[in-house]
Amino acid sequence: MKRSSGVLLPVFSLPGELGIGDLGISAYEFIDFLKQSGQSFWEVLPINPVDPLYDNSPYSPLSSFAGNTLFINVSLLKEHVFFENISKSSNLINYDDVKKMKYHYFMDVYRSFKKEDDYYKFIEENKDWIYDYALFISIRNYIGKRLYDWPYEIKTRNKDKLKYYQEKLKKEIDFQIFLQYIFYKQWYNLKKYANKKGIKIIGDLPIYVNYDSADVWSHPEYFMLDEKLNPLFVSGVPPDFFSKTGQLWGNPIFNWDKIKEENFRWWIDRFIHTKKLYDVIRLDHFRGYVAYWEVPFGEETAINGKWVKGPGEELFKELLKKINDPNIIAEDLGLITPDVIELRDRFNFPGMKVLQFAFDGNPSNDYKPHNYNNKNCIVFTGTHDNNTTIGWFQESGKKQKMDFIKYIGGNLSEKINWAFIRLAMSSICDVSIIPMQDVLGLGKESRINTPGTIGKNWKWKLSSNYYSKSISKRLLEYTETYGRI
């Protein structure tokens, strides 16, 4: 990657028109803001369908292939729409209200929708996943239960039961396919506009999938499941300095032996699909491709897990046979061992640096910019899992604050967020990514996610009046000063 910079902002955090960020005018205006500010990248989080059972986390989607229909912009579907009782001033998303309002309009548009050639072309191009997804989500909505609790015959895809639900839920299945068609039409139009403006989109590919997903239901053979299709093992990370019991994520573990038998076909299809969505792919939990922490299903903590070897370079060698230039970023944070670095460097994937991890009083801290020894990396002030930079400083201890202040020469003449942005921009890293909250200098109330907690995450969105010529000009100045245009 050439020396450049970008901004991190999830789609759901755009101002939007119905209580959530979407693919409408606010997304196009944000791209214009990036262009005017001299940026080259817009980083988003996964854009797959979410569910309140999983805190609406984009990292626990109901499908690895389907799009989040809450991101569909209603005004692009239907002219002269008048929205009632919508709080445009709120900076928090109420997912239940958003879904009720949007689906009212979606159904109205669907009733008069005429299927044309591009609709059938879309279905043909996505036939490997779209029928299974539409059936899965239709059954799930009808039964009102997660996959764990489905009746055995439909959970295990009994042919007679499948046929029964395909007939019974025919209209709902058709409606779900229609929504995917609309989502992808709006997404690809937006991506085309971004690319025309010189903005590339960076998107995430989570390593794991949700058990309660169309992926597991339609391809149980690719996961470590018992005869009742319940998980044998689940994902997590081992105990460390931050957690004596580790982290129990609960995603089903892949049956890598079976996947390998088929030359990683399902995984490569997933890569190819993701590559169509984004210009650059950030591989979440990259260390899991080398070795992953496997915990027996039913454990209450991650203590009794063990390390199991991952697919490693075999997967990426096979991938490169299908995609010449995958444009991958390796999320190499956390417990990183030499074999993880070796795999990353074997394929020349850029790694990540996070400035909020740098200030612990140790001059040798790998995240301090003077210790960066390779420009092939992406530097962040913070990620979606971090506090905002202003929030970080306010909640940091005296040792962290003093280390940071000393590092920038003891001068706090510029605001904390801009001091961080300057450090990121001036580093040797090829790319710097700044969360939009840091560009605007927002506090902890604008944090997107706090790992290990539920209830308050994935809800923050921008106010509609966020745009400021002075902020855009300042971001442009920093970008120009440090040669990132």
> pLDDT band for position 412 (50/70/90)?
confident
| pLDDT value for 428 | 99
Partners of 43 in the β-ladder? 8, 202
Q: Is residue 154 part of a domain?
A: yes
Sign of torsion, CA 122 128 131 135? negative
- 106 within 8 A of 69, measured Cβ to Cβ: yes
- Domain that residue 476 falls in: 1-40+70-201+459-485
Per the annotation, the verdict on 385 as an active-site residue is yes
| pLDDT value for 307 | 98
Residue 130, domain CATH: 3.20.20.80
Counted domains in the chain: 1
To the nearest whole number, what is the mean pLDDT of the chain?
A: 95
> pLDDT band for position 81 (50/70/90)?
low
Which whole number is the average pLDDT over 429-456?
96
What gap in Å lies between CA 210 and CA 215, rounded to an integer? 8
φ and ψ at residue 432, rounded to 5 degrees: -115, 135
- 206 within 8 A of 214, measured Cβ to Cβ: no
What gap in Å lies between CA 290 and CA 46, rounded to an integer? 22
| pLDDT value for 80 | 52
pLDDT tens column, 244-282: 999 999 999 999 999 999 999 999 999 999 999 999 999
Per the annotation, the verdict on 294 as an active-site residue is no
- 485 within 8 A of 38, measured Cβ to Cβ: yes
- 255 within 8 A of 224, measured Cβ to Cβ: yes
What gap in Å lies between CA 320 and CA 311, rounded to an integer? 14
CB neighbourhood size of 116 (10 A): 8
Q: What is the pTM of this model?
A: 0.96
From 212, 284, 332, 438, the catalytic residue: 284
What gap in Å lies between CA 379 and CA 434, rounded to an integer? 8
Q: Is residue 444 part of a domain?
A: no
| pLDDT value for 89 | 55
> pLDDT band for position 82 (50/70/90)?
low
What gap in Å lies between CA 287 and CA 336, rounded to an integer? 7
Q: Is the pLDDT of residue 88 over 60?
A: no
Q: Is residue 155 part of a domain?
A: yes
User: Which residue, 251, 320, 240, is CA-closest to 284?
Assistant: 251
Q: Is residue 216 part of a domain?
A: no
Per the annotation, the verdict on 395 as an active-site residue is no
Q: Is residue 107 part of a domain?
A: yes
Locate 146 and state its tokens.
Answer: 């997660």
Q: Is residue 266 part of a domain?
A: no
What gap in Å lies between CA 217 and CA 138, rounded to an integer? 13
Instruction: List the Cα angle 203/209/212 in 5-degree steps.
Output: 130
Which whole number is the average pLDDT over 216-233?
97
Question: pLDDT > 70: what percent of the chain?
Answer: 98
| pLDDT value for 345 | 98
Q: Is residue 291 part of a domain?
A: no
Instruction: List the Cα angle 275/278/279 in 5-degree steps.
Output: 90
pLDDT tens column, 9-32: 999 999 988 999 999 999 999 999
> pLDDT band for position 129 (50/70/90)?
very high
> pLDDT band for position 469 (50/70/90)?
very high
Strands 247-252 and 233-237: antiparallel
3-state secondary structure the chain: CCCEEEEECCHHHCCCCCCCCCCCHHHHHHHHHHHHCCCCEEECCCCCCCCHHHCCCCCCCCCCCCCCHHHCCCCCCCCCCCCCCCCCCCCECCHHHHHHHHHHHHHHHHHCCCCCHHHHHHHHHCHHHHHHHHHHHHHHHHHCCCHHHCCHHHHCCCHHHHHHHHHHCHHHHHHHHHHHHHHHHHHHHHHHHHHHCCCEEEEEECCCCCCCCHHHHHCHHHECECCCCCECEEEEECCCCCCCCCEEEEEECECHHHHHHCCCHHHHHHHHHHHHHCCEEEECCHHHHCEEEEEECCCCCCCCCEEEECCCHHHHHHHHHHCCCCCEEECCCCCCCHHHHHHHHHCCCCEEEEHHHCCCCCCCCCCCHHHCCCCCEEEECCCCCCCCHHHHHHHCCHHHHHHHHHHCCCCCCCCHHHHHHHHHHHCCCCEEEEEHHHHHCCCHHHCCCCCCCCCCCCCECCCCCCCCHHHHHHHHHHHHHCCCC
Cα 401 to the center of its chain, rounded Å:
30
> pLDDT band for position 235 (50/70/90)?
very high
From 212, 331, 332, 403, the catalytic residue: 331
What gap in Å lies between CA 35 and CA 139, rounded to an integer? 43
> pLDDT band for position 367 (50/70/90)?
very high
> pLDDT band for position 413 (50/70/90)?
confident
CB neighbourhood size of 473 (10 A): 12
Q: Is residue 142 part of a domain?
A: yes
Instruction: List the Cα angle 138/141/145 in 5-degree steps.
Output: 125
171: left (phi over 0), alpha (psi -120 to 50) or beta: alpha
Task: Please tell me the total number of residues recorded for the chain in this structure.
Answer: 485
First-to-final CA distance of the chain: 12
Question: pLDDT > 90: what percent of the chain?
Answer: 92
| pLDDT value for 155 | 97
